Chain A
Amino acid sequence: GAVVSQHPSRVICKSGTSVKIECRSLDFQATTMFWYRQFPKQSLMLMATSNEGSKATYEQGVEKDKFLINHASLTLSTLTVTSAHPEDSSFYICSAGPNHQADSYGYTFGSGTRLTVV
């Protein structure tokens, strides 16, 4: 089936530095990628929707200058957490949108990235 490869799986960074998270669709093209944030014992909160070749659409309350999303190709989307602070520590998950032919309406998820800012 369809696979989205997300890296890194966990990262620890110092406060004030930037961290890049990558999501690659394997063997299929993902025209849309969703980025979520998940706090411990809570549900997934949609941060933004990215479409290949265009600017991402951010959900209300999400700082687009802090969470930079790039979707430059049909197989790669990246989320960069800029000037990270401890409150940005969380579990970040990407998901390929419903339109890829490999798994219609399956919304394939990456394995997640545990970010810890110290």
Chain B
Amino acid sequence: AQSVTQLGSHVSVSEGALVLLRCNYSSSVPPYLFWYVQYPNQGLQLLLKYTSAATLVKGINGFEAEFKKSETSFHLTKPSAHMSDAAEYFCAVSSTGANSKLTFGKGITLSVRP
């Protein structure tokens, strides 16, 4: 069984400040890990994914995440927040098998203050 924990439901940062969204996972098999962003009334857009290659993954819009097996974490960061980053962020885990389904965390709302 796999699961994802995203602590807290809301993070607020100032424009230009560091963004850190935490994600911890539980998996009995080597995981694939994902971060998605969702804007209101829209589907999910992939920010980045870890699929057992480099542990530091760079994604779109300046986001990156580091896979730390010892900490079972996959935290999302961005050095400088932009107003357009305000959205809902979901961390997700899947196994590596064919047709593996995604298991999502409950999501975190990011607000960016001017």
Residue of A nearest to B42 (CB): A111
Q: Please report the total number of B residues contacting A with Cβ < 8 Å.
A: 23
Residues of A77-118 at the interface with B, using a CB-CB cut-off of 8 Å, are: 91, 93, 95, 97-99, 104-112, 114
Q: Which of B11-19, B43-51, B63-71, B73-81 contacts A (4 or more CB under 8 A)?
A: B43-51
What 0/1 readout, one digit per residue, does chain B (64-106) give for beta carbons within 8 Å of chain A? 0000000000000000000000000010001000111111111
List A contacts of B32 (CB < 8 A).
Answer: 105
Q: Do B41 and A112 touch across chains, with their CB atoms under 8 A apart?
A: yes
List B contacts of A44 (CB < 8 A).
Answer: 44, 90, 104
Q: Do B99 and A97 touch across chains, with their CB atoms under 8 A apart?
A: yes
Q: How many A-B residue pairs have CB under 8 A?
A: 59
Interface size bucket, A side? 20 to 34
Please tell me if A49 contacts chain B, counting CB pairs below 8 Å: yes
Q: How far is the CB of A61 from chain B (nearest CB, A)?
A: 15
Instruction: For the A-B complex with A44-B44, A107-B34 known, give 19 more contacts whose Cβ atoms are closer than 8 Å.
Output: A32-B99, A43-B104, A44-B90, A46-B101, A46-B102, A51-B99, A91-B41, A95-B44, A95-B102, A97-B99, A99-B99, A104-B51, A106-B49, A107-B102, A109-B36, A109-B44, A112-B41, A112-B42, A112-B43
What 7 A-B pairs are tightest by C-beta distance, nearest first?
Answer: A109-B43, A109-B44, A111-B43, A43-B106, A112-B43, A43-B104, A32-B99
> A residues bordering B, Cβ < 8 Å?
4, 6, 9-10, 31-32, 34, 42-44, 46, 49, 51, 91, 93, 95, 97-99, 104-112, 114
